[in-house]
Amino acid sequence: MKNEELVQRFVDQELSAEERIQFVVALGRDQALRERVLALEQLVLDATKLPRPLVPEGFAARVLERTAAAKPAAPALRRTGTWGRLIDALWAPRALQWNLAGAAAVACVALIAVGAVVATGVRRPVASVADAPPAGSGRAQAPVVLVRLVVVQPDARVVQAAGDFNGWNPSRTPLEQTADGAWTVTLPLEPGRYEYQFVVDGDRWIGDPFAVEQSNDGFGSRNAVLDVRLAEASL
């Protein structure tokens, strides 16, 4: 195999173990090759470090303004069967489609989520002010409320949450698996309004159709809404 092809496959990290040995031997014998590989590796490293251009302020609002005036194309297919009709009814405004397995999983999610809310005795997943850290030494902190998110995804390998509370970065909020395929995380949140979704296996974003409140983002997707408030006793 020619050195040049090895170089490119090395940079792409596609060499087999044997090829890597062959390549390292070639590097040891050829200074020009070493310099070329170093330059390529540096280029790739620099490219990965390039800062993302800043999204202009008001970008999302301008898109929403334009999408509000546009109607999406008619759905190509309607679902059939009991679950399909149920999900269509629940998600009429939502353009993203669910398959039947996904629909069953979402129904389980909803049941468990409702159960969790009932068990904590609040209308929404909002904990009492007793969960707030005590006032004491150190700088003053805003009171926080512990909010538990629960989702059932028995076949998932990884479940994360993304929302206003973590900059929509799912890697910051992994859920822990519990029994029966449930996943959960407890978040300390300051009072406020938070939108969120769950992310299953890194690339499947799912909402919570049974959330007390949902937000249509004007883009065919629905986010669950958490309205985090302190208990009345603290007010």
Partner 1 sequence: MLISRHAPSVFSVTTRMLGPAADAEDVAQDTFVSAYKALPRFQFESKFSTWLYRIAVNKCTDVLRARRPGHVSLDSPEGEEMAAWPAVDDDTPHEELERIELASELERGIQALPPLYRESFVLKHVEGLGYDEMSDILGVPRDTLKMRVYKARTLLCRSLSHLAGVR
In whole angstroms, what is the distance from residue 190 CA to residue 183 CA? 22
Judged by CB under 8 A, does residue 130 bind partner 1? no
Interface region with partner 1, contact rule CB under 8 A, candidates 63-71, 82-90, 146-154, 172-180? 63-71
Site mask for partner 1 (CB under 8 A), range 64-93, x = bound: x-xx--xxxxxxx-----------------
Among 2, 16, 18, 54, binds partner 1 (CB under 8 A): 54
134 near partner 1, judged by CB under 8 A: no
**Binding to partner 1 (CB under 8 A): which residues in 155-184?**
162, 168
Q: Between 63 and 111, whose beta carbon lies closer to partner 1?
A: 63
Q: What CA–CA distances, in Å, run from 106 to 95, 109, 182, 192?
A: 16, 5, 12, 26
Largest alpha-carbon pair distance within the chain?
76
CA distance 214 to 159: 20
Closest of 226, 199, 200, 221 to residue 211, by C-alpha: 226
Tokens 């003053």 correspond to what residue? 140
- How many residues in the shown chain lie near partner 1 by CB under 8 A? 49
| 3 state SS of 100 | helix
Is residue 62 a contact point for partner 1 (CB under 8 A)? yes
- To partner 1, the closest distance from the beta carbon of 64 in angstroms equals 7
Task: Name the residue type at position 158.
Answer: V
Q: Which is nearer to partner 1, 7 or 150 (CB)?
A: 7
Asked if residue 215 lies in contact with residue 167, where contact means CB atoms within 8 angstroms, the answer is: no
Amino acid at 174: P
Q: Helix (H, G, I), strand (E, B), or coil: what is residue 198?
A: strand
Note whether 163 and 194 are within 8 A (CB): yes
Which phi and psi angles does 89 have, rounded to 5°? -65, -40
Cβ nearer to partner 1, comparing 62 with 85: 62
Shortest distance, CB of residue 68 to partner 1, whole angstroms? 10
Residues 15, 195, 198, 211: which binds partner 1 (CB under 8 A)?
A: 195
| Among residues 15, 223, 224, 225, the one that binds partner 1 under rule CB under 8 A | 223
Footprint on this chain of partner 1 (rule: CB under 8 A): 8, 11-12, 36, 39-40, 42-44, 46-56, 59-60, 62-64, 66-67, 70-76, 95-97, 99, 162, 168, 195, 203, 205, 217-221, 223
